[in-house]
């Protein structure tokens, strides 16, 4: 293993202190820090697949490969899809029949699933293909977009289309049962949400070329009117965050692996998962909290711009007075 050096060329040894730095999370589309924006996707839903029974109206795409339509597997309507117990690297596809501009037309892919068997080490991937079967964009892990993979529990999966990194029109959405055999799911209500406004938004920090960031903590600063706080209501937003805030450490690339993630959908999750460092109530009635996430330092190291820490905002946060985040880290210079 090569010996790392500090900025002045001094070799680093055990327990040597690194120079500390702090960097704001900035929007990937325009580089601004401000996070108090409306990132909700409120357009119409277009059915991809929700069964073919009388109780399942919509323009369903053709179901291909593995899985059977069953009444017991329905989340809503008449039929859902039981994947069956799958061998490793089996596929389930939904085919539109022709290439369409998914990235330019839609903002979110969402569906419901109920894990029935999910062996240790499973990697259930989802991605897009062209009509000729050519893969386009990144292969994402479904478990990166839900709070748990608990068996026998329905959970809604919502994936920003931007995460797929699509560069061409596509025709098929594909689920791959990777890494282990024995996976089984029920699926239902696959939908694409049409673009409305310019959300969702990503805020990101990555290490510049030649530096390594050893992450100490992520600080999230939130300010909102001091009214309407409850365990299920985020600040004064009626009904809570809905899709919430997603914090994640990931590798950008074909597989887009997520090493850890924290999904926050209401105040109970925020106060339960993050440390509250301080809170202040101002004379104008706003209340400000500073939340801190302190991950395991040895496992969170940003080596280059392929390693990123993301915060994904998929909801209307316009009732907040402010929402910003900062990464605190030690700086190491690559030899």
pLDDT at 237: 66
Beta strand 19-24 pairing with 322-333? antiparallel
pLDDT bracket for residue 152 (50, 70, 90)? very high
Domain 45-194 has CATH 3.30.830.10: no
Asked whether the domain spanning 45-194 has the same topology as the one spanning 19-40+199-333, the reply is yes
32 three-class SS: coil
* Helix (H), strand (E), coil (C) string for the chain: CCCCECCCCCECCCCCCCEEEEEECEECCCCCCCCCCECCCCCCEEEEECCCCCCCCCCCCEEEECCEEECCCCCCCCCEEECCCECCCEEEEEEEEEEECHHHHEEEEEEEEEEEECCCCCEEEEEEECCCCCEEEEEEEHHHHCCCCCCCCCEEEEEEHHHHCCCCCEEEEEEEEECCCCEEEEEEEEEEEECCCCCCEEEEEECCCCEEEEEEEEEEEEEEECCCCCCCCCCCCCCCCCCCEEEEEEECCCCCCEEEEEEECCHHHHHHHCEEEEEEECCCCEEEEEEEECCCHHHCEECCCCEEEEEEECCECCCCCEEEEEEEEEEEECC
Bigger pLDDT: 170 vs 165: 170
Tracing tokens 């009509």 back to the chain, one arrives at: 131
Angle made by CA atoms 186, 76, 185, in degrees to the nearest 5 = 5
Please give the class, per CATH, of domain 19-40+199-333.
mainly beta
- Is pLDDT above 80 for 184? yes
Q: What is the mean pLDDT of residues 53-61?
A: 81
CA trace torsion 222, 226, 229, 235 (10° rounding): -40
Q: What is the mean pLDDT of residues 7-26?
A: 67
- Cβ(126)–Cβ(143) under 8 Å? no
Bigger pLDDT: 144 vs 70: 70
- Is pLDDT above 60 for 2? no
Bigger pLDDT: 117 vs 210: 117
Report the candidate in 246, 252, 230, 264 with the shortest Cα–Cα distance to residue 303: 252
CA atoms within 13 A on the CB side of 200: 23
pLDDT at 163: 84
pLDDT bracket for residue 176 (50, 70, 90)? very high
pLDDT at 223: 85
198 three-class SS: coil
- Count Cβ neighbours within 10 Å for each residue of 225-261 and write b for 16 or more, e otherwise: ebeeeeeeebbebeebbebbbbbbbbebeebbbbeeb
| pTM metric for this prediction | 0.68
pLDDT at 279: 86
Provide the residue ranges of all domains of the chain, joining segments of one domain with +.
19-40+199-333, 45-194
- Is pLDDT above 90 for 58? no
- Is pLDDT above 70 for 269? yes
User: What is the DSSP secondary structure assignment for residue 88, as one 8-state letter?
Assistant: T
Report the candidate in 58, 59, 56, 87 with the shortest Cα–Cα distance to residue 69: 56
pLDDT at 173: 97
* Longest CA–CA separation in the chain, Å: 72
Report the candidate in 57, 54, 92 with the shortest Cα–Cα distance to residue 71: 54
């Amino acid at each position: 293993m090569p010996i790392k050096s500090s900025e002045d060329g001094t070799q680093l040894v055990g327990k040597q202190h690194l120079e500390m730095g702090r960097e704001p999370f900035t929007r990937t589309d325009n580089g601004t820090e401000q996070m108090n924006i409306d990132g909700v996707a409120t357009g119409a839903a277009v059915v991809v697949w929700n069964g073919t029974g009388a109780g399942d109206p919509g323009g369903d795409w053709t179901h291909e490969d593995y899985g059977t339509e069953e009444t017991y597997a329905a989340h809503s309507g008449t039929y859902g899809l039981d994947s069956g117990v799958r061998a490793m690297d089996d596929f389930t596809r939904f085919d539109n029949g022709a290439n369409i501009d998914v990235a330019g037309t839609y903002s979110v892919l969402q569906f419901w699933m109920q894990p029935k068997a999910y062996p240790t080490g499973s990697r259930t991937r989802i991605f897009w293909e062209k009509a000729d079967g050519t893969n386009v964009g990144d292969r994402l892990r479904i478990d990166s977009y839900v709070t748990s993979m608990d068996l026998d529990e329905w959970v809604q999966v919502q994936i920003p289309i931007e995460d797929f990194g699509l560069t061409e029109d596509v025709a098929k959405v594909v689920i791959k049962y990777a890494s282990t055999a024995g996976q089984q799911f029920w699926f239902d209500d696959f939908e694409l949400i049409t673009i409305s406004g310019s959300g969702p938004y990503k805020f990101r920090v990555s290490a510049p070329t030649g530096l390594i960031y050893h992450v100490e903590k992520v600080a999230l600063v939130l300010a909102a009117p001091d009214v309407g706080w409850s365990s299920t209501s985020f600040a004064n937003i009626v009904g809570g965050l809905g899709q919430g805030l997603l914090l994640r450490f990931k590798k950008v690339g074909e597989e887009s692996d997520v090493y850890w993630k924290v999904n926050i959908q209401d105040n109970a999750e925020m106060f339960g998962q993050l440390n509250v460092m301080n809170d202040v109530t101002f004379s104008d009635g706003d209340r400000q909290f500073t939340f801190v996430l302190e991950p395991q330092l040895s496992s969170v190291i940003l080596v280059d711009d392929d390693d990123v820490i993301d915060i994904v905002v998929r909801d209307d946060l316009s009732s907040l007075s402010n929402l910003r985040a900062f990464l605190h880290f030690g700086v190491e210079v690559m030899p």
